[in-house]
Amino acid sequence: MKLKLKEEYKKSWNYLFDSRKFIYSIIAIFFLFAFIGFFFPVPEVLYNEILDFIRKLLEETENLSQSELIFFIISNNVRSSFFGILFGFIYGIFPLIITITNGYVLGFVSLMSVSNGGFFSLWKLFPHGIFELPAIFISLGLGLKFGTFIFQKNKLKSFKNYLMNSLRVFLLIILPLLIVAGIIEGTLIFLGN
C-alpha cells in the first residue's frame, strides 16, 4: 500500500512537471489581471458588483465559529479547484475566466487594502495565499491543459489521460494544500476579528 501511494505521488509530480507551461500561463494571466485591478480605475458598474460580492461573502461568514469558518473556506476552495479542472475540458475557457476574475478581484481588494491601511496592509494578505494560490494555480493550469485534449490525435485517449492524471493531482497535492490553506486562513480571520 505504501509503495502504491509513493508511485501515485510520483505520477502526480510527473504530470505536474509535464503541465508546467499551462500552470505558468495561469500564473502570468492571474498576476496580469491583479496588476490591472490594482492600477487601473474600475468601471462603476464593476466596482459595485465586486463590493456586493465581498459584502455577501462577509455576511455569509459573519457569525461562524472558527471550525465552521475553516470548513467554509476549505469547501469553497475545493469546489472552485475541482470545477476549475473538470470544466477545463471546454477548451480551457472556464479556468481562464476564473483566473481573470480572481486576479482582477485580488488587485481590486489589494488596492482597497492599501488605500485604507497603506502598503504594509498587503503583508496581512500574504499568509492567506501561501498554500491556497499554488493549489488554485495548479488546478486552473490542469484545467487549461485538459481543454487541449480536443487538439490531440486520439481525443478520447487524451481526454481520459488528462482527466485521470488531473484527478490524481487533485487528490494527492491540491486537496492537502487547500486543507492547510483553509486552516491557516480560517484561524487568521477568526483571530483577527
pLDDT (0 to 100) of residue 159: 92
Q: What is the largest CA-CA distance in the chain?
A: 56
pLDDT (0 to 100) of residue 193: 56
Domain membership flag for residue 38: yes
Domain membership flag for residue 24: yes
pLDDT (0 to 100) of residue 98: 92
Residue 166 to residues 73, 79, 160, 183, Cα–Cα distance (Å): 22, 15, 10, 24
Q: What is the dihedral of CA 144, 147, 148, 149, to 10 degrees?
A: 140
Who has greater pLDDT, 167 or 187?
167
Domain membership flag for residue 63: no
pLDDT in tens, 104-154: 888 888 887 777 766 665 666 666 678 889 999 999 999 999 999 988 899
Give residue 63's identity as a one-letter amino acid code: N
Who has greater pLDDT, 5 or 163?
163
Report the alpha-carbon distance of residue 103 to residue 128 in Å, rounded: 15
pLDDT (0 to 100) of residue 82: 93
H/E stretch holding 123: helix 122-146
pLDDT (0 to 100) of residue 5: 83
Q: What is the dihedral of CA 31, 144, 142, 72, to 10 degrees?
A: 60
pLDDT (0 to 100) of residue 123: 63
pLDDT (0 to 100) of residue 127: 64
Length of the chain: 193
Domain membership flag for residue 146: yes
Q: 109: domain range? A: 2-58+68-192
Report the alpha-carbon distance of residue 185 to residue 183 in Å, rounded: 6
pLDDT (0 to 100) of residue 130: 81
Domain membership flag for residue 99: yes
- Which cell numbers in the block locate residue 48? 459595485
pLDDT (0 to 100) of residue 62: 78
pLDDT (0 to 100) of residue 176: 94
pLDDT in tens, 21-77: 999 999 999 999 999 988 887 777 777 887 788 788 778 877 778 888 888 889 989
Domain membership flag for residue 32: yes
pLDDT (0 to 100) of residue 185: 81
Least-confidence region, from 82-86, 113-117, 140-144, 159-163: 113-117
pLDDT (0 to 100) of residue 124: 61
- If one counts the domains in the chain, the total is 1
